A and B are shown apart, each in its own frame.
Chain A
Amino acid sequence: DTGVSQNPRHKITKRGQNVTFRCDPISEHNRLYWYRQTLGQGPEFLTYFQNEAQLEKSRLLSDRFSAERPKGSFSTLEIQRTEQGDSAMYLCASTASNYEQYFGPGTRLTVT
């Protein structure tokens, strides 16, 4: 088990473009979370899945954001029509429904 992985690690895009990030959780973990972390701040919750069902979405997740977890395995987070305010580190975490969430290394998005 190699832990939670995220790809890409870095993404630079121009404003208005669409981007998609991928998260591969620890294999036996049924819950998967997305958080966003801006510079100097703590992570903020975006959404989470139990298996393939998306159970909660933060109001931070505007209509331009969509997340999926087909077949309850990996997850993708897509941002459409990116804005400069979307620049942040996007973190993925997974858990087997106990308290400890295991975090991936994150995807750093820069919107120019």
Chain B
Amino acid sequence: GDSVTQMEGPVTLSEEAFLTINCTYTATGYPSLFWYVQYPGEGLQLLLKATKADDKGSNKGFEATYRKETTSFHLEKGSVQVSDSAVYFCALVYAAGNKLTFGGGTRVLVKP
């Protein structure tokens, strides 16, 4: 079946450091890919998405590129802030309106 694998956390880094969270997927077709973020005490929020190969999703300084050849969708940010401390989830879906399949989440802690 379909699955999403993320690097395990926690990832601890200093403010203004570069962040990468690896995400790879296993799927029989060509899904759309997402990153969701969960801030402490809050619900899941969509951070960015890419619906086809080579698309780049971006939001709030975060970027991820849909790489079909490596079945990956790694999340990057060039300079993190303390406010970026959260749990990040990679997810896939096959068609608009269908269920999401999530990875296990990666906790990120940014220290001042």
**A residues neighboring B (CB under 8 Å):** 4, 31, 33, 35, 40-45, 48, 50, 56, 91, 93, 95, 97-106
19 A-B pairs with CB atoms under 8 Å apart are A4-B43, A35-B100, A40-B105, A41-B104, A42-B4, A43-B44, A43-B89, A43-B102, A44-B102, A45-B100, A93-B44, A93-B100, A97-B96, A98-B96, A99-B49, A99-B51, A103-B44, A103-B45, A104-B43
**Contacts between chains A and B (CB distance < 8 A), count:** 55
Main secondary structure of the interface of B (DSSP, over half): strand
Please indicate which of the listed interface residues B34, B49, B100 has the most CB atoms of chain A within 10 Å of its own CB: B100
Q: Does B46 lie at the interface of the complex (its beta carbon under 8 Å from any beta carbon of A)?
A: yes
| Chain B residues closer than 8 Å to A56, beta-carbon distance | 99
Would you call A98 and B97 a contact (CB within 8 A)? yes
Given A43-B100, A100-B49, A106:B105 Cβ within 8 A: no
